[in-house]
Amino acid sequence: MAFVPAGAGYDRAITVFSPDGKLFQVQYAQEAVKRGLTALGIKVNEGVVLAAERRVRSNIVEEASVEKIFQVDEHIGAAASGLIADARVLIDQARIEAQVNRLRYDEPINVEMLAKRIGDIKQMYTQHGGVRPFGARLLIVGIDANGPHLFETDPSGVVAAYKAQAIGGGAPTVVEIFEKRYDEKMSIDNVIVLAIDALRAVSEGEFDATKVEVAVIKAETKRFEKLSVEEISKYVKQLGPKPSARAARE
């Protein structure tokens, strides 16, 4: 009699738990995120920063069309990793939720409420036949009456709040950098430098301002602002030359 693995067949339907309590399709969606480019978010007293790797695979591609950071509302932004097509659908839904809240209550949506709503949508796609989980993680940042916020949503629908977090292939390295250097009292300028430096540590090949996207929401303005390549270049110059892989490990 042939040996049959314990999980055999349980990955064919999203609604069936394996004997050890796993939903394999959800786990496969988590793996899709791990193969994505790195994105990060940092929350400090002065505001929030999003940054993401940008990799243009051909010189005939318009760089502006390669997007990993999205504006959701005037005071909310999001960065994605994994299947960006899936992420765009979630971003569009987040934008609808934000506008419906403005029309219904005549006020900007609470950041935590929006993050939980997106988490609910993701969770719904883990328990219905004929669909699959969203293969994307989102970092949702914003500033509301309760101050700056940073939330992560994963393919299972889990929503968690962070001070600093990273998603994608380079996330473990970036989180390690955050644990050593993060301080909630940092200025926004220093946070941007930290974010770019963390992405530089996980980037491949030569690094310059065209390899990253950066967005900021300052506590004083509460407005989403995406930095231009020229603005990012100024921060990249502050970092100096990229250290060798050996020096970074030491």
How many CB atoms sit inside 10 A of residue 193's CB? 18
**Dist CA 153 CA 81 (whole Å):** 11
State pTM to two decimals. 0.90
How many CB atoms sit inside 10 A of residue 109's CB? 23
20 occurs within a structural domain:
no
| Average pLDDT of the chain, as a whole number | 90
**Beta bridge partners of residue 51, listed in sequence order:** 40, 214
* Mean pLDDT computed over 104-125: 96
Structure tokens at 32: 């899709």
Higher pLDDT, 65 or 5: 65
Confidence at residue 206, expressed as pLDDT on a 0 to 100 scale: 86
Cβ(105)–Cβ(86) below 8 Å: no
201 lies in which domain range? 35-56+67-249
99 occurs within a structural domain:
yes
Structure tokens at 91: 């971003």
**How many independent structural domains does the chain possess?**
1
* Mean pLDDT computed over 205-226: 94
Answer yes or no: is pLDDT of 38 > 90.
Answer: yes
Q: What is the CATH number of the domain that holds 204?
A: 3.60.20.10
DSSP conformation class of 243: P
Cβ(141)–Cβ(41) below 8 Å: yes
